[in-house]
Structures are given as C-alpha cells and as structure tokens.
Amino acid sequence: MELEFIRRLRERLPPRQGDLLVGPGDDAAVLAWRSGGNCVVTTDMLTDGVDFRLSEADPRRIGRKALAVNLSDLAAMAAVPVAVVVSLALPRTASLELAWELYEGLLPLAVEFDTYVAGGDTNAWDGGLVINVTAIGRTTERGPLLRSGARPGDAIVVTGDFGGSILGKHFDFTPRVREALYLGANYEVRAAMDVSDGLSLDLGRMCEESGCGAELTLSSIPISAAAREAALRNPQSDTPLERALSDGEDFELLLAMPLEEASRAAADTSLGVGLSIIGRFVAERGLYAIDAAGNRTPLTPRGYEHRFGP
C-alpha cells in the first residue's frame, strides 16, 4: 500500500487498544487475543457489476457495505467482531482517492461495531473495482451459532422485514450483531444464519444443514415497505410476498428456537428490532407454505445464486 495512504489511514484510525497490538503499516497485523473465546473468520468479496455499480453508487456506501456484509456473517455465528483486513483492487483508471472514499464509508461502521481495521492491501488492475473484507471475531461463552441445529418443532424466527432491498437496504442495512449476541446470551437459540440470498433460499439451506424441513405461515412473513414498492413497479409478475420470500440482501437473522423461547423473545422490548415467528421446522424434508385458509403446498426456494461456468 502506498506510504502516503497508510500514513493518512493511520491518522484517521482510532487509537489502538485492546486486542490489536500491531495495525496497518507493518508486514502483518498482530492481535493479542487476550479475551478468550474461539477465533471466527469470514470473508466476502464484492465486485463492480454484481454487488454494486460504481458508476451509480457513492463509493462510501460501497465501502460500508463491504464491511457490513462481513459483520452480518459474524452476527450469524453470534461472534463479537474484533478486527478486519481490507483488500482493494482499484480500476487503473481510478485515483487513490477512490480507495479513500471506500474507507470513509467503512470506518464509521467499524467504530460503531468496535472493530479495528488491522491492515489490508490496495492494488490497481485493468478490471473493475473489487473490494474484499475479511473479518475476525471471537465466540462468547455461549459458543458459535450454527446452521445445523434446527429441530422439528422449533419455531422459525426472523428479525426485521423482508424484500425490496435493492431500493436501498442492501447498502444501508444494520448488521444484526447486537441482536444475535443478545438473543444468544438470553434465549435458547438452536440455529442461526443471516439471510443474504433470499428468505426461502436461505431457509432451505438451514433445513439442509439441519436435516429437516420447514413450514412457512405466509400471513406471518414480515413484508417490508420496500417490497410493496418494488412489487408495484412490476405488478404483472411480482407480489410483495413473493419479493419478501425471494429478494436477496435483506441481511436479517434467521433463527431456530424452541417455540416458548421464541414467543418470549418476540415480546422482549429491549431487543430493539422486531422479531417474527414465521413458521416451524418439521421432520419432513422440503419447504411448505401454509396459506390463510390453512392449506399446505410445497414451496420452491428462490433467491440469488452466483452463476459459474460456461
């Protein structure tokens, strides 16, 4: 990384304390890891044209998102964020100012979630902007939350509401770190993940890992105002419910909890975000929808999937 850039970054970063012993500027970062718990590592790469369009978006929002998606994955594991490293591949046509703007979006969120930028790498190349963040967290006494713990009879629980994130939430969402830690510490949570690719698709993935199926009560799905607005733009093919079930990038938590625990948590006002019980896990494999009349029909999981190969 260019020396002048590192100097500027060091000036901008909060003073080092806690677990970060050596930050940006040396060959590698050093973390003390005094606080116990296991080390949780996650990484997410955002690319121009797939996760954002640099020609249309404020680079600060892109930088913020690159960190937020990683914090969301730490939240899904009920891990406390500790440090992040940031790798940038800038288009050769862009100035180093672009890197700075990305950091200007990312740094306030790092401060908000009490996590350090421990280092990174900034390069230029002939392709579009690529931003990769790797986040390091630690588990609490509760241990990590996994996707594989859902059991038949457990309630399907979600934070917040769903659909239409393309209208803004996919940039400006709040990673549910505090909520996941709070729920993990105060309630019995059997499984968790963050919904990044679509509610029904990700629920299918949790079922797969847990070896069970799920019944969704359609009238209980929290549909966002953005999902209604997005559906209005294409009323022939879209309904708000369909958008809530299949749109990607909600970055809400999806949890499996014993029903009694879920009911207690849903009434807990200190959580700070709405919690909805949207169905239950069942022994029979597959996803099923329960409509207002009580009819049960198979539900095809839909959402965003990266395409590979020719």
Identity of the residue, 194 or 249, whose beta carbon is nearer to Mg ion in the bound complex: 194
On whether the CB atoms of residues 159 and 176 are closer than 8 A, the answer is yes
- Tell me, residue by residue from 163 to 202, as one string, x for binding to Mg ion by CB under 5 A and - for no binding: -------------------------------x--------
Residue 268 beta carbon to Mg ion: minimum distance, rounded to whole angstroms: 24
Residue 103 beta carbon to Mg ion: minimum distance, rounded to whole angstroms: 24
Asked if residue 73 binds Mg ion (CB under 5 A), the reply is yes
Residue 37 beta carbon to Mg ion: minimum distance, rounded to whole angstroms: 20
Residue 155 CA neighbour count, 13 Å, CB half: 20
- Binding segment toward Mg ion, per CB under 5 A, in 1-9, 67-75, 159-167, 257-265: 67-75
Residue 31 beta carbon to Mg ion: minimum distance, rounded to whole angstroms: 23
Burial of 149 per CB tally in 10 Å (0-12, 13-18, 19+): middle
Identity of the residue, 40 or 290, whose beta carbon is nearer to Mg ion in the bound complex: 40
Identity of the residue, 73 or 154, whose beta carbon is nearer to Mg ion in the bound complex: 73
Residues in contact with Mg ion, counted by CB under 5 A, come to a total of 2
Identity of the residue, 115 or 196, whose beta carbon is nearer to Mg ion in the bound complex: 196
- Tell me, residue by residue from 271 to 290, as one string, x for binding to Mg ion by CB under 5 A and - for no binding: --------------------
Residue 278 beta carbon to Mg ion: minimum distance, rounded to whole angstroms: 18
Asked if residue 250 binds Mg ion (CB under 5 A), the reply is no
If we measure between CA atoms, which residue out of 290, 72, 297 comes closest to residue 277?
Answer: 290
Identity of the residue, 73 or 215, whose beta carbon is nearer to Mg ion in the bound complex: 73
Return all residues near 212 (Cβ < 8 A) that are at least 6 apart: 150, 151, 152, 281, 282, 283, 285
Binding site for Mg ion (CB under 5 A): 73, 194
